Amino acid sequence: MSDKSVPARPTIDLRSFTPARVALGRTGASVPTKALLDFTLDHARARDAVHAAFDAPRLLADLGALGLAVTEARSQAVDRRDYLRRPDLGRRLEPGSVEVLTRAASAPCQLALVIGDGLSAAAVHAHAAALVKRLLPLLAEGDSVALGQVVVASGARVALGDEIGAILGARMVVTLIGERPGLSAPDSLGAYLTFAPKPGRTDAERNCVSNIHEAGLSYDEAAFKIAWLVREGLARQVSGVALKDESADRAPRRIGTFPPG
């Protein structure tokens, strides 16, 4: 059979569809120098994101500009080194913060919003305030969801939101937190929703909206999903594996592209 009888196979530039490391090429038994240098740079950015300091005053100012009254709290992790070595300390509030939040809990609320540094403070600095700005009007639509306390938490793991939500008497808590940095996204933000929050909740009892960053889920898409899950979770009194994300069935045909800042 001649080669002419074999139809030509179209080539696809996979790199135009994803920032992932695909179709890197080859030089001998290794990757090209540029691919190696890019990998080294992205690895350094991921490491820097994990160790970066959390600028809580900056976030407090950004949220205050949205007209929100914000309470500050911190976990039992005394510093970043402690936080990385002892994940359990990031899941519980330090005693002073328990007192502050207890005083702030004037009445039970439908929804508490917690914003924590997590494993990428850079993600929170870059995206949290802009996402909250998109989320607030969606919560106010139709049968509005009353947003109670907003808490900025330092040294936070996801589960810290459960204790905060329980102290504030929230029916549901949304925790916005920096996700573990990857080689293609050192500044990815995640949102975790838990109905009836209390210490001891498991990941199976939460819903997650992840990969909120410039090359991932846009602010508008993420805000729409979060608002939908909040409303459905409150209506059905569940979250996690009992609450399937069907927001795509209700989404507008076109949701805005990822905006700057």
Measure the CA–CA gap between 173 and 231, rounded to whole angstroms: 12
In the DSSP assignment, the letter for residue 120 is: -
Residue partners of 223: CB distance under 8 A and separation at least 6: 131, 134, 135, 138
User: Would you say 179 is a known binding-site residue?
Assistant: yes
Measure the CA–CA gap between 37 and 192, rounded to whole angstroms: 34
3-state secondary structure of 191: strand
Tokens of 202: 């498991």
Nearest CA to 53 among 115, 114, 122, 116? 122
Nearest CA to 84 among 58, 133, 120? 120
User: Would you say 208 is a known binding-site residue?
Assistant: yes
| Known binding-site residue numbers for adenosylcob(III)alamin | 158, 179, 208
| Known binding-site residue numbers | 158, 179, 208
